[in-house]
A and B are shown apart, each in its own frame.
Chain A
Amino acid sequence: MATEHTYPDTAAKTAAAALPDEFHPERMSLSMGPSHPATHGVLRIQLELEGEVVRKADPVVGYLHRGDEKIAENMTYNQFVPYTDRLDYLAPLANNVAYTLAVERLAHLEVPPRCQAIRVIVSEMARISSHLMGLGAYGIDVGALSVFMYTFLEREKLYTLFEELTGARFTTNYTRIGGVARDVPEGWTERVSAFCDQFLPILDESLALLTRNRIFQDRTVNIGVVSQAEAIAYGLTGPNLRGSGVPLDLRKDRPYSGYEQYDFDVPVGSKGDCFDRYMCRAEEMKQSVRIIKQAVAKFPPGEWYATEAKKIFPPPKDKILTSMEELIQNFMLVTEGPQLPPGEVYFEAENPKGVLGFYIVSKGGGVPWRLKIRSPSFCNLSILPKVCVGAMVADVVSILGSLDFVMGECDR
């Protein structure tokens, strides 16, 4: 397979093989990254090239390591929420939700339906914004600059909605153990459904610039093929796994936060090449819109945090200001953290980039004894040494873009 690029016809191949040694090229070692625009962050790939063909690709990760797992051991569960923003920083809300759900599972805590619906809506909005960024950047990687402008404009609208909801555009810090930081503001759900209505035609317009474009197809079809078996063996998840035709989606297979109430389909690819992965992301956005619309339509009234969990979620602010008991409770909760039982839990959620898992060991109290993050980007990148071999250097850029990883999460 690999040699076909170098020697398109067999006659040339035999002729080249007959040449004396000095005509055979030496392998060249090339560092792609860590500050290369096409590596989407601080990924370095140590390539070994024979001419234009990649013979070996070795991803070098860790340039963005901040020790998040160790940091988590030194603070209460709620204080760690802002750090989860900085894992997959293109979908901070989805990380917030996944982390809180993991801790709540440890506490055997059920949040009210309204809180669940809020979490589903924000997760799906985060998925759309992450995929919009992924598609736009992928367009740039393979030479279609304008798509990025259109997808970025849509992402901007989402960020405005996030800003109204959470107070910040990017580092949202929105969920809390047992609830969310604040209820949805007046009229916010209507603005979300208005966004959904205008979004689909614009998405189709942007996709039309890529999908049937011959240049785009030449750069993606049959490039970076990952077979079903390989995808499973390397632990790929998310659109990268579904692009290879494995219909695994935790929202369907192991529903959490009330996903079982919503109707949606799982797009899968048939071939597992860059084009399939791109198509899966495009379709997923449409499915996310479906979920958001349903969630908004039956947005439940009621409480937006677990009112019964007095040892986990702090009392309302005006109570803290007027009553001594709540004041003391607030002090206890902040200084000692939400009180959780001892035990272990592993919870994974379907994030835009794949399956984000948290493994928490608790010895009781408000601080995790150990917290391990299973980050989808890290596992997805492990396929690189396999899939890049035999590709041209320019294809590496296309493959990287189609894997859509985030180094903040990979290196944690």
Chain B
Amino acid sequence: MGGPALLEVEDLAVAARSRRGDLEIVHGVSLQLGPGETLAVVGETGSGKSLTMLALMRLLAPPLAITRGRIAFDGHDLTSLSEREMRELRGSQMAMIYQDPMTSLNPLMRIGAQVAEAMTAHGVANSEARRRSLELLARVEIPDPERTARSYPHEFSGGMRQRAVIAIALAMRPRLLIADEPTTALDVTIQQQILALVNELRRELRMATIWVTHDLGVVARMVDRVVVMYAGHVVEDAPVDQLFHAPQHPYTRSLLAALPNPTDQSRPALVQIPGRPPLPTEMVEGCPFRPRCAQAREACRVRPVLEPRAAGRAACWVPVEEWRP
């Protein structure tokens, strides 16, 4: 890392508010990201990855709300910005691409106009936006941009639409890109192409990137660090090499064991972790992973905190040396 962080999240909590009280779903997430750095956020479905990302963009819709914590982005304290100031950052400094490219484009607007609008909304002149939108479409490898700019979304395949979505997200050269499972709705071959494209653009624009996924294998080659989330908690945060070779949290180890490994025939593919994560409504005393943890012991009845461990951080009472195999 080193140098000033671009994004610094501290103790961020998200809850669903109601008259009967708050139901906390994300319980104090902390993470940092340097300029140009790439981070993967992994965790099972429902672990609060998307909510955390939406909270970063201050886009939670009621009843969901940030209930605690601090988000520093490029010197701004995002939690105290006005909605108007936030809007200026969104789309220009912070961008997001997500799951379903089939529905994230306006069906009644031409592709080119949608790319251009991402710029005119942030003050770029019309003619300039039009010219740049053609460049952008070419850059995301959409063939014949002059013609395709005049197409409607329904004339595009899923992969093409996701390319258009990427062009729109990157139009203002944001400093931070959040990619929330942008390929899950696509064919496997197209997934690889889109991942490669975003990775290339990320390097070219020196964009800090957060990859959200529940498939660790997919992004392993492209990220610097990995944050593992479990039931709304960060349980481990480590450099990617360390995470793969010396996981510091039992949950990370189980996730890795569940990864199919084509080169290692000795390991049975897809070991399932028994049980399921607790729902936000289910109170677990102590460590949230305890009901499923092979290493659990008496000490785990008290909730562990995220502490420095090797080159990263982990939230577990039991050091790796004491783990049972």
Whether both chains belong to one complex is answered with no
Chain A residues packing against B (C-beta within 8 Å): none
Chain B residues packing against A (C-beta within 8 Å): none
